[in-house]
Amino acid sequence: MKITKNLKVLYFLGFILALSTAFPGYIRSTFLEEFVNIRWVGLFFFGNALFGLIAINFFPYFIKKISNYKLAIVIIILQILGILLLVTTNSAVWAFVFFIISGVTGYLIWINMDVFVERFTTNPTTGRIRTVYFTFINLGWVFSPLAVGYLIGEENYRLVYIIAVVFLVIALATILYNKKLLRDHVKYEHHHTWTTLKNIWKNANLRGIFSIAFLLELFYAVAVIYVPIYLHETIGFDWKIIGAIFTFMLLPFVLLEIPAGIFADKYSGEKKILSIGFMILVSAVALFFFTESSSPFVWALILFISRCGAALIEAMKESYFFKIVDVKDIDYINFFRNVSPLSYLVGSGLAIFALEFYSVEYLFLFLALVLLSGFYFTWKIQTIKK
């Protein structure tokens, strides 16, 4: 597959933005314990998700009015400011505000990126282009945990956030430099929120793939917030060990997604791979609960297996969704990314309640049971004909 200059720029942007997200990604919950007790860490993520849902709801209107290119610049600048203010405050209240600003803009910039990538994608190559794009994003996630494990040292979480700002500045410079390639010439369609929701609900394929996306993001939400806390505070791993475990854990996203995308394009294989992905993911998440070992090698293997399932699901939900929508369908793309903050809203909200009665590992058992519904939604969507 020939990679155009436009796609090369977007793959690089995806990698840099992933680094900016991934560097603080797994230490956010632990960092927030400087301000509040572990039981209330979920409240920060709940607030972030709630405001994220509100912001995403209005985002198509601003993309249509301002343009995706100009809005991406504004969003990155706001994210830089939000992070800088977050790492300089000592107030729990202001930390909550700045955490939300940096988090909500983090959601929005990926919608900008979806619109950029979809402009240069055609249906016969959707699986390959999307999985190559996600492989570059996942490379950023793979490199980050090991580096972060060494950078934190004596719990130096603020340094990690400052490095994330450096990556955002590089991304901003890249967008500004490639204005001619990235600026919009698309007439976006925008409908009322309820109209979009009704259209999604009436379309079995959209309804099914949205549900699958929500389940995957729910897994990410619980894993990103509570697995680092569990490994660090309950099992007792230090951050260097956790960084090494997470780097190994994330390798499936780099190794599996492109082959899965090629298979999906060639054989219309999204449903088959989704079923395999859920089988692997549910089994691994159940092991989070049942495993009593304190060996880093055992946990590295279990987490690696879980990401094998997640990588297959991620590749196929992207391939399937962007084969049934087009770049002008900004409302559908917008709602597709809405499932991420929605999952954090549901996941963190339920976790706040559950942790009043159960220990952290029970969250993983509840999650495994919920993920079983993925088989039903996979069965309900139709195979895309070539």
SS3 track for 169-194: HHHHHHHHHCHHHHCCCCCCCCCCHH
Tell me the mean pLDDT in the region 117-128: 70
Angle at 316 between CA 14 and CA 297, to 5 degrees: 75
Taking 90 as the threshold, does the pLDDT of residue 159 lie above it?
no
Residues sharing a CB contact under 8 Å with residue 56, sequence separation 6 or more, in sequence order: 107, 108, 111, 334, 335, 337, 338, 341
More confident residue, 239 or 211: 211
Taking 60 as the threshold, does the pLDDT of residue 276 lie above it?
yes
Helix (H, G, I), strand (E, B) or coil at 113: helix
More confident residue, 208 or 151: 208
pLDDT band at 7 (very low <50, low <70, confident <90, very high): confident
Give CA separation, 32 vs 163, 225, 288, 359, 374, in Å: 18, 11, 23, 19, 32
Where are the strands (E) in 248-348, listed by range?
none
Q: Where are the alpha helices (DSSP H) in 325-371?
A: 330-354, 361-371
- How much is the pLDDT for 383? 80
pLDDT digits (tens, 9 = 90+) for 34-49: 888 777 887 888 888 8
Longest dimension (CA), the chain: 56
Tell me the mean pLDDT in the region 6-17: 91
Tokens for 276?
């395999």
Tell me the mean pLDDT in the region 186-207: 75
Tell me the mean pLDDT in the region 112-140: 79
- How much is the pLDDT for 3? 59
188/332 Cα distance (integer angstroms): 11
Nearest to 330 by CA among 203, 134, 137, 193: 193
39/43 Cα distance (integer angstroms): 8
Contact between residue 314 and residue 217 where contact means Cβ atoms under 8 Å apart = no
- How much is the pLDDT for 85? 95
Burial class (CB in 10 A: 0-12, 13-18, 19+), 192: exposed
pLDDT digits (tens, 9 = 90+) for 244-275: 898 899 899 888 888 888 887 777 778 899 99
More confident residue, 371 or 243: 371
Q: What is the mean pLDDT of the chain?
A: 85
Domains of the chain: 5-380 (1.20.1250.20)
- How much is the pLDDT for 124? 62
pLDDT digits (tens, 9 = 90+) for 49-72: 889 888 888 888 888 888 889 999
- How much is the pLDDT for 121? 66
Tell me the mean pLDDT in the region 86-108: 92
Tokens for 99?
């955490």
Percent of the chain with pLDDT over 70: 92
pLDDT digits (tens, 9 = 90+) for 363-385: 889 899 999 999 999 998 888 76
- How much is the pLDDT for 360? 77
Taking 70 as the threshold, does the pLDDT of residue 304 lie above it?
yes
Contact between residue 261 and residue 130 where contact means Cβ atoms under 8 Å apart = yes
pLDDT band at 169 (very low <50, low <70, confident <90, very high): very high
Task: Give whichever of 16-30, 212-226, 272-286 has the largest mean pLDDT.
Answer: 272-286
- How much is the pLDDT for 170? 97
Taking 80 as the threshold, does the pLDDT of residue 119 lie above it?
no
Nearest to 46 by CA among 179, 225, 186: 225
More confident residue, 361 or 213: 213
- How much is the pLDDT for 25? 81
Residue type, 26: Y
Task: Give whichever of 20-24, 195-199, 344-348, 381-385 has the largest mean pLDDT.
Answer: 20-24
- How much is the pLDDT for 187? 60
Taking 90 as the threshold, does the pLDDT of residue 237 lie above it?
no
- How much is the pLDDT for 138? 85
Tell me the mean pLDDT in the region 26-31: 80
